[in-house]
């Protein structure tokens, strides 16, 4: 079992390019696992964690409803945004500047074989990070992600999540709104959930800009502790 995770910060990168890169890493891990099984080998499978920020883009999960996108093709172009239907779980979400996106591409057999636990650990790494900023946050029953004001009329989502897993290998991940322009969420029904707002860390803290490098460091700290793992460059 390999508990080391290769950390890559891709900076700002096109969504499709990053998706293809994820697929490349994902398929290589699956292929190695198949080789191990076929040839009765015990070659260590790698794990990756990608940080990235995307230009304005809307993505729709495989079970999502296209009607949750409220823009036409022309309106998308006018907003400088793109749209992709992709192979993760969940409905529609937005990615853009000021948002920290994390894509863990893990062989869960290096850690534990439980997708439910994996999702809860993803959420927990964000919850613990936000608690360091003094925010009370948590989970909303039946709704993956991290929320503030759960159980009140002011429930608002700060981190969306959607993953794909096959043969215990994961891809896609989470999107945490840090310095995000929340106006872009007005053009979708976020995650297909009506009547609940979206927020960001800089809005909740009432500051102009949050240091994203510090947020990333906190996420990694909690992620490593929860997964009993070590990040390597």
φ, ψ of residue 159 to 5 degrees: the values are: -145, 120
Q: Is 155 annotated for ligand binding?
A: no
Where are the strands (E) in the chain, listed by range? 4-12, 48-53, 57-60, 82-85, 92-95, 99-105, 137-140, 143-148, 156-166, 169-177, 197-198, 230-232
Q: Is 162 annotated for ligand binding?
A: yes
Q: Is 192 annotated for ligand binding?
A: no
Query: From first to last of its 233 residues, what are the pLDDT tens digits of the chain?
Result: 899 999 999 999 999 999 999 999 999 999 999 999 999 999 999 999 999 999 999 988 887 788 888 888 888 888 889 998 887 877 788 999 999 999 999 999 999 999 999 999 999 999 999 999 999 999 998 888 999 998 888 999 999 998 999 999 999 999 999 999 998 888 887 655 555 789 999 999 999 999 999 999 999 999 999 999 999 98
- Mapped onto helix, strand or coil, the DSSP state of residue 141 is coil
What the chain holds in terms of domains, given with CATH numbers, is 4-232 (3.30.930.10)
Q: Is 231 annotated for ligand binding?
A: no
Q: Is 181 annotated for ligand binding?
A: no
Instruction: Give the DSSP letter string of 164-183.
Output: EEETTEEEEEEEEESS--GG
Query: Known catalytic residues?
Result: 191
Q: Is 89 annotated for ligand binding?
A: yes
d(CA 32, CA 124): 30
């Amino acid at each position: 079992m390999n508990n080391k995770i290769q950390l890559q910060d891709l900076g700002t990168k096109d969504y499709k390019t990053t998706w293809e890169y994820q697929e490349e890493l994902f398929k290589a891990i699956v292929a190695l696992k198949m080789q191990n099984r076929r040839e009765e080998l015990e070659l260590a499978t790698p794990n990756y964690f990608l940080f990235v920020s995307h230009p304005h883009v809307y993505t729709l999960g495989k079970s999502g409803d296209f009607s949750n996108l409220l823009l036409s093709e022309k309106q998308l172009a006018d907003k400088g945004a793109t749209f992709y239907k992709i192979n993760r779980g969940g409905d529609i979400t937005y990615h853009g500047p000021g948002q920290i996106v994390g894509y863990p591409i893990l062989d869960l057999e290096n850690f534990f074989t439980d997708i439910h636990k994996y999702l809860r650990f993803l959420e927990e790494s964000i919850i613990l990070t936000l608690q360091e900023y003094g925010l009370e946050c948590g989970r909303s029953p039946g709704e993956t992600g991290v929320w503030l004001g759960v159980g009140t009329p002011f429930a608002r989502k700060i981190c969306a999540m959607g993953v794909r897993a096959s043969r215990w290998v994961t891809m896609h991940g989470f999107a945490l709104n840090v310095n995000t322009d929340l106006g872009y969420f007005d053009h979708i029904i976020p995650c297909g959930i009506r009547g609940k707002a979206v927020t960001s860390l800089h809005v909740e803290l009432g500051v102009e800009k949050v240091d994203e490098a510090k947020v990333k460091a906190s996420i990694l700290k909690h992620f490593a502790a929860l997964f009993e793992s070590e990040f390597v460059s």
